[in-house]
């Protein structure tokens, strides 16, 4: 009960922050608060959303995956190759793209968990490998695909949002449910909190960890499909820097980089905040460099806020309290 | 330097009472200098009041013991003194001046040093670095390792770890040795007030003796010592005064000679404890549940063979570093084995991981609850059901939180875990209550063979009885139970049979009618003697 209430409060807090941001841009630019803005927003975020959802789980077990941007590019390239060069049916091309993502993620997991190498390093290698492969498969050229894939990212009639957006929201909900309602989710949180204790409780953490990296790979594959369908073409440069946006979204959503704590729903709000920031700043005419500075400040600010909420002991808050009240020693008996 | 004056004075005074059993009038505050520490009506509450009008005084050169049940507020008081926690109200005077440490560093600067109840060594850093963590010798920003290691060696030899290489990563040490490293760190600092929060919970008699030597030395130097412990025999030996706490309040302060352990316990829990019967209640001992043959693991377990029967409580005694813990860990698959055979019943089993052990029906309550047991930021419920989580889910892997709560209520209730609710973060519980939750986790798992490593570490007198009773019940149900403890009295009260380990080998086996403290201690040292002889022979 208590816990559920606490969770709800956190969701509401994130929602309020996002709405505040929307309002701010609305005040700054008359055109911002329009249906078009939101439709564009909804159709831009599915790829980032699914990747960030998977990234949340990886960060919760205390890992990280820097390769998602490149893997997303590779998956998109493979989808393009399958449709344009091999004339595979649509569903087969998608399966292939998902499979490549799953494979890359599993490899990340196997190597880092199997050899006990930090996932930071392993995925850094994968970042290079996957990007290289993306260039190789596409001959470093953007491939136009056209109608076949665009359906995923075209708003459904009468709904204003695309199937991709709906799938992404579904992924977020499913991710949250898995995290908080299933044994697997409990394992993730426990491993991120104290892996040694989990092992000594008789649970083998390795398969669980590998599965999480694999899952992120699969979701990155899905992100690749969404990305390709939005552009209508497969671009070997797709997803450059996406790992940073994804990690930023997760962290803005309050997931700890130290592991053991996090929420997929809040990551979704993190994605919304980042996307809104980007769209809004563009709308008010901020230059690219300004946009980056502001985005950076927001990320760091969010993390500081989060640290304040979670990590600081009562002691630091006590300092604050002391500023507003008399020091404890002065309360003593005369 | 600064306290050279009082030092001399207290030297004279302390020699008058440290040896004799009755602390004389020398302890009454000297109006001229006043007590070393004067705490008046200290207040602290989290969600519930933890310290209520807590008043306390400590003289120079005095050992003042603090006793009370788990959750009475002892550690909270100690943490306030050492600047780790803020108080809500009340006054603290150190040597007549207001004392309000804002941090551990400030407290240390004022000469208040504390050994925390929970271990805090950094496993990846060397022992030497751990000892001098807050004052590493530096030159121009670079660490000076030569001086560091020499000083560390000195500090270690004060606590009986003279043979240990200070450059070893501290994580390689067992819990007892880590505890000694922390004590060494505290002893090597200039202090006026030393706070020891359950320093001996993982120590065996020889290390305790050595610690007491150090304490007596500090007393002579005029240092005041606050000593928190659940071991009554120890307190009677070392303390000058004893303050009993209950629910954050002072129940009474006694001169150590004026009070019996039974009276102390009555004051702690508010009623008499039932007289404990000797362990040899007739229990049918069944067939062999676990056979261990020629087990070898690392350099701590050299050759261990024994049998454990159903319905039996088998104890392992031994000194720190004798390989007791490592034996249990190797059986359980927590550490790698180098050789040997394990049979469950008649069946040889391969145990490479704790998961394998669990499949074979073996559970282990680990020695180091913080490192190996607890998910500190998670609720009590999650901690209790960690080993049984799959049983609290339906076929699809969906958690049944209500069933989890029920299990938690049942097992944590049986162990009387003191908490505000089962959703409370376990890190907020007192040390003893955290330990109870780890035990509850393994009781919930219902293993056929249960290995307990220091099960009562940090647990109060009354709750110890509950746990002893639980172990008996387990054995009576036909489970096979093994207990490692550094408290010989505990083993003798609890076990049907006792193995003694020394230098990685079993050097003796006793039944209750054979054993005496002397015999056990002798066997615990025998491995070291053999080693010397063979060293001379070669
Ligand atoms: N950070 C915290 N948040 C909430 N409650 C706390 C916190 N720290 C301690 N408490 C509560 O304060 C009470 C006293 O705890 P404390 O650790 O001082 O007990 P203790 O006397 O040292 O017990 P033990 O013998 O088990 O070590 C306990 O009920 C505990 O749950
Ligand atoms: Mg305590």
3-state class (DSSP) for residue B8: helix
ipTM of the complex: 0.87
* Model confidence pLDDT, tens digit, residues A160-178: 788 999 999 999 999 999 9
Q: With CA atoms as reference, report the closest residue to B146 among B137, B154, B155.
A: B137
User: Which chain B positions have a beta carbon within 8 Å of A198's beta carbon?
Assistant: 386
Q: Could you tell me if A252 and A273 are in contact, meaning their C-beta atoms sit under 8 angstroms apart?
A: yes
Is residue B437 domain-shared with residue B419, that is, in the same domain? Answer: yes
Which tokens in the block code for residue A318?
């006590």
Is residue B349 domain-shared with residue B490, that is, in the same domain? Answer: yes
- Calculate ∠ Cα B272-B278-B282, nearest 5°: 130
Is A322 a residue whose pLDDT tops 50? Answer: no
3-state class (DSSP) for residue B276: coil
Mutate which of B49, B50, B65, B67 to test ligand 1's pocket (most atoms within 8 Å of Cβ)?
Answer: B50
Which tokens in the block code for residue B471?
């172990």
Which tokens in the block code for residue B313?
């409580």
**Total structural domains within chain B:** 3
Is residue B343 domain-shared with residue B483, that is, in the same domain? Answer: yes
Lowest mean pLDDT among A61-65, A242-246, B261-265: B261-265
B95 in any annotated domain: yes
Q: Could you tell me if A188 and A177 are in contact, meaning their C-beta atoms sit under 8 angstroms apart?
A: no
B138 in any annotated domain: no
Q: For residue B398, how many other CB atoms are within 10 A of its CB?
A: 14
The torsion angles phi and psi of B272, rounded to 5 degrees, stand at -75, 150
3-state class (DSSP) for residue B159: coil
Whole-angstrom Cα distance, residue B343 to residue A306?
51
Is A96 a residue whose pLDDT tops 90? Answer: yes
Is residue B452 domain-shared with residue B409, that is, in the same domain? Answer: no
A15 in any annotated domain: no
A19 in any annotated domain: no
Q: What percent of chain A has pLDDT over 70?
A: 91
> What does each C-alpha distance from A126 to A52, A76, A97, A130 come to in angstroms?
18, 16, 16, 6
B526 in any annotated domain: yes
A77 in any annotated domain: yes
Give the domain range for residue B483.
Answer: 287-361+448-538
Q: With CA atoms as reference, report the closest residue to A209 among A119, A133, A329.
A: A119
b (16+ CB within 10 A) / e for B98-137: ebbbeebeebbebbbbbbbbbbebeeeebbbbbbbeeeee
* Model confidence pLDDT, tens digit, residues A276-299: 999 999 888 889 899 889 989 988
Whole-angstrom Cα distance, residue A163 to residue A90?
15
Task: Name every residue whose Cβ is closer than 8 Å to that of residue B136 and which is 6 or more positions away in sequence.
Answer: B129, B143, B148
B301 in any annotated domain: yes
In chain B, how many H helices and how many E strands?
17, 22
Which DSSP symbol is given to B25? Answer: G
B293 in any annotated domain: yes
Is residue B76 domain-shared with residue B94, that is, in the same domain? Answer: yes
Which DSSP symbol is given to B79? Answer: H
Is residue B241 domain-shared with residue B257, that is, in the same domain? Answer: yes
pLDDT at B171: 86
User: H/E element holding B532?
Assistant: helix B517-537
A40 in any annotated domain: no
Q: Which residues line ligand 1 (CB under 6 A)?
A: B 46, 50, 68, 70-76, 117, 418, 428-433, 458, 460
**Total structural domains within chain A:** 1
- Cβ–Cβ of B353/A204 closer than 8 Å? yes
CATH code: domain of residue B357: 3.40.50.300
pLDDT at B205: 87
Which tokens in the block code for residue A202?
């008789």
pLDDT at B530: 63
Which tokens in the block code for residue A95?
């399966």
Is residue B104 domain-shared with residue B236, that is, in the same domain? Answer: yes
The ligand with the least distance to the CA atom of B459 is 1
Is residue B332 domain-shared with residue B343, that is, in the same domain? Answer: yes
Q: What is the 3-state secondary structure (H, E, C) of chain A?
A: CHHHHHHHHHHHHHHHHHHHHHHHHHHHCCCCCCHHHHHHHHHHCHHHHHHHHHHHHHHHCCCCCCCHHHHHHHHHHHHHHHHHHCCCCHHHHHHHHHHHHHHHHHHHHHHHHHHCCCHHHHHHHHHHHHHHHHHHHHCCCCEECCHHHHHHHCCCCCCCCCHHHHHHHHHHHHHHHHHHHEHHHHHHHHHHHCHHHHHHCCCCHHHHHHHHHHHHHHHHHHHHHHHHHHHCEECCCCCCCHHHHHHHHHHHCCCCCCCCCCCHHHHHHHHHHHHHHHHHHHHCCCCHHHHHHHHHHHHHHHHHHHHHHHCCCHHHHHHHHHHHCCCHHHHCCC
Query: pTM to 2 decimals?
Result: 0.87
A35 in any annotated domain: no
- Calculate ∠ Cα B126-B130-B131, nearest 5°: 120
Give the domain range for residue A85.
Answer: 46-318
- Calculate ∠ Cα A71-A77-A80, nearest 5°: 145
Is residue B458 domain-shared with residue B523, that is, in the same domain? Answer: yes
Segment A261-268 mean pLDDT: 94
Ligand 1, closest atom to CA B79?
A: 18
B183 in any annotated domain: no
Query: Which residues have CB atoms below 5 A from the ion given as ligand 2?
Result: B 75, 117, 430-431
B85 in any annotated domain: yes
Is A324 a residue whose pLDDT tops 50? Answer: no
Ligand 1: which residue has its CA nearest to atom 8? Answer: B428
The torsion angles phi and psi of A171, rounded to 5 degrees, stand at -60, -40
User: H/E element holding B197?
Assistant: strand B193-197
Residue of A183, A193, A315 lying closest to B375 (CB–CB): A193
Is residue B15 domain-shared with residue B102, that is, in the same domain? Answer: yes
pLDDT at B533: 55
Q: With CA atoms as reference, report the closest residue to B469 among B489, B455, B449, B487.
A: B455
Mutate which of B48, B75, B430, B435 to test ligand 1's pocket (most atoms within 8 Å of Cβ)?
Answer: B430
B274 in any annotated domain: no
pLDDT at B24: 39
Q: For residue B517, how many other CB atoms are within 10 A of its CB?
A: 12
Which of the listed residues B377, B412, B446 is the one where a domain comes to its end? B446
Ligand 1: which residue has its CA nearest to atom 28? Answer: B71
A27 in any annotated domain: no
Residues 34 through 53 of chain A touching chain B, CB cutoff 8 Å: none
pLDDT at B10: 38
Q: Could you tell me if B480 and B307 are in contact, meaning their C-beta atoms sit under 8 angstroms apart?
A: no
pLDDT at B274: 67
Which of the listed residues B390, B416, B446 is the one where a domain comes to its end? B446
Which of the listed residues B446, B476, B501 is the one where a domain comes to its end? B446
What is the pairing mode between strands B224-228 and B63-68? parallel
CATH code: domain of residue A264: 1.10.3470
pLDDT at A320: 45
Which tokens in the block code for residue B410?
């049942």
Is residue B537 domain-shared with residue B470, that is, in the same domain? Answer: yes
pLDDT at B280: 52
Task: Name every residue whose Cβ is closer than 8 Å to that of residue A186 and which is 6 or more positions away in sequence.
Answer: B382, B389, B399
Low-confidence ranges of chain B (pLDDT < 70): 1-33, 137-144, 273-282, 530-538
A71 in any annotated domain: yes
Is residue B456 domain-shared with residue B491, that is, in the same domain? Answer: yes
Which tokens in the block code for residue B249?
């309040």
């Amino acid at each position: 009960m208590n816990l559920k209430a606490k969770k709800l409060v956190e969701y509401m807090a994130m929602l309020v922050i996002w709405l505040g941001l929307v309002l701010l841009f609305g005040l700054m630019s008359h055109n911002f608060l329009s249906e078009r803005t939101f439709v564009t927003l909804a159709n831009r975020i599915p790829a980032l959303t699914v990747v960030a959802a998977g990234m949340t789980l990886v960060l919760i077990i205390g890992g990280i995956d820097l390769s998602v941007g490149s893997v997303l590019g590779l998956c998109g390239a493979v989808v393009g190759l399958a449709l344009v060069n091999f004339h595979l049916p649509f569903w087969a091309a998608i399966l292939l793209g998902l499979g490549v993502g799953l494979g890359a993620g599993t490899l990340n997991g196997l190597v880092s968990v199997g050899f006990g190498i930090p996932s930071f390093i392993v995925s850094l290698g994968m970042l290079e490998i996957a990007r290289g492969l993306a260039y190789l498969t596409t001959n470093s050229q953007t491939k136009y695909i056209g109608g076949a894939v665009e359906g995923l990212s075209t708003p459904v009639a009468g709904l204003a949002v695309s199937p991709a957006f709906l799938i992404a929201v579904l992924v977020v909900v499913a991710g949250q449910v898995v995290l908080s309602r299933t044994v697997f989710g409990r394992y993730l949180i426990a491993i991120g909190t104290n892996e040694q204790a989990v092992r000594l409780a008789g649970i083998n953490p390795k398969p669980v960890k590998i599965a999480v990296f694999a899952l992120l790979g699969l979701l990155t594959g899905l992100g690749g499909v969404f990305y390709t369908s939005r552009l209508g073409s497969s671009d070997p440069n797709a997803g450059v820097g996406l790992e940073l946006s994804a990690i930023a979204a997760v962290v803005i959503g309050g997931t700890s980089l130290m592991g053991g704590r996090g929420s997929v729903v809040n990551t979704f709000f993190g994605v919304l905040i980042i996307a809104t920031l980007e769209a809004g700043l563009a709308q008010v005419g901020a230059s690219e460099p300004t946009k980056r500075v502001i985005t950076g400040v927001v990320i760091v600010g969010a993390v500081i806020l989060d640290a304040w909420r979670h990590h600081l002991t009562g002691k630091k808050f006590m300092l604050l309290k002391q500023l507003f009240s008399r020091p404890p020693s002065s309360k003593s008996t005369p | 330097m600064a306290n050279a004056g009082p030092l001399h004075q207290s030297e004279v005074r302390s020699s008058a009472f440290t040896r004799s059993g009755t602390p004389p009038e020398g302890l009454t505050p000297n109006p001229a200098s006043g007590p070393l520490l004067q705490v008046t009506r200290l207040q602290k509450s989290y969600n519930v009041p933890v310290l209520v009008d807590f008043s306390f005084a400590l003289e120079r050169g005095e050992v003042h013991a603090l006793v009370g049940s788990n959750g009475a507020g002892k550690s909270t008081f100690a943490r306030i003194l050492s600047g780790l926690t803020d108080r809500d109200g009340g006054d603290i005077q150190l040597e007549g001046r207001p004392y309000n440490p804002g941090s551990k560093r400030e407290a240390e600067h004022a000469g208040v040093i504390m050994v925390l109840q929970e271990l805090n060594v950094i496993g990846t850093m060397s022992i030497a670095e751990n000892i001098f963590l807050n004052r590493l010798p530096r030159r121009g920003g670079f660490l000076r390792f030569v001086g560091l290691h020499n000083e560390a060696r000195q500090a270690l030899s004060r606590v009986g770890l003279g043979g240990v290489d200070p450059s070893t990563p501290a994580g390689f040490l067992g819990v007892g040795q880590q505890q000694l490293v922390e004590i060494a760190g505290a002893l090597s600092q200039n202090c006026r007030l030393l706070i020891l929060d359950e320093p001996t919970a993982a120590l065996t008699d020889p290390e305790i003796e050595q610690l007491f030597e150090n304490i007596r030395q500090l007393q002579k130097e005029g240092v005041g010592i606050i000593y928190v412990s659940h071991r009554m025999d120890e307190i009677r030996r070392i303390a000058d005064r004893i303050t009993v706490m209950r629910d954050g309040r002072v129940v009474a302060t006694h001169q150590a000679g004026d009070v019996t352990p039974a009276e102390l316990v009555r004051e702690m829990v508010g009623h008499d404890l039932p007289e404990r019967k000797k362990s040899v209640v007739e229990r049918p001992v069944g067939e062999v549940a676990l056979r261990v043959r020629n087990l070898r693991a690392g350099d701590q377990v050299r050759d261990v063979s024994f049998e454990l029967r159903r319905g039996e409580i088998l104890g392992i005694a031994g000194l720190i570093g004798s390989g007791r813990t490592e034996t249990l860990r190797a059986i359980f698959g927590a550490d790698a084995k180098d050789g040997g055979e394990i049979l469950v019943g008649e069946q040889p089993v391969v145990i490479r991981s704790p998961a394998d052990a669990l499949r074979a029906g073996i559970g282990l309550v680990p020695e180091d609850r913080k490192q190996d047991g607890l998910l500190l930021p998670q609720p009590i419920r999650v901690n209790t059901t960690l080993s049984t989580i799959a049983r609290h889910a339906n076929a699809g892997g969906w958690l049944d939180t209500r069933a989890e709560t029920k299990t938690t209520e049942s097992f944590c209730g049986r162990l009387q875990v003191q908490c505000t609710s089962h959703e409370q973060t376990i890190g907020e519980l007192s040390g003893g209550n955290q330990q109870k939750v780890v035990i509850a986790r393994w009781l919930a798992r219902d293993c056929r063979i249960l290995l307990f490593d220091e099960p009562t570490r940090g647990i109060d007198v009354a709750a110890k009885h509950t746990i002893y009773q639980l172990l008996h019940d387990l054995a009576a149900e036909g489970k096979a139970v093994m207990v490692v403890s550094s408290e010989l009295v505990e083993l003798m009260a609890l076990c049907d049979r006792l193995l003694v380990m020394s230098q990685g080998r079993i050097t003796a086996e006793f039944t209750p009618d054979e054993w005496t403290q002397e015999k056990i201690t002798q066997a615990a040292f025998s491995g070291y003697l053999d080693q010397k002889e063979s060293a001379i022979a070669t």
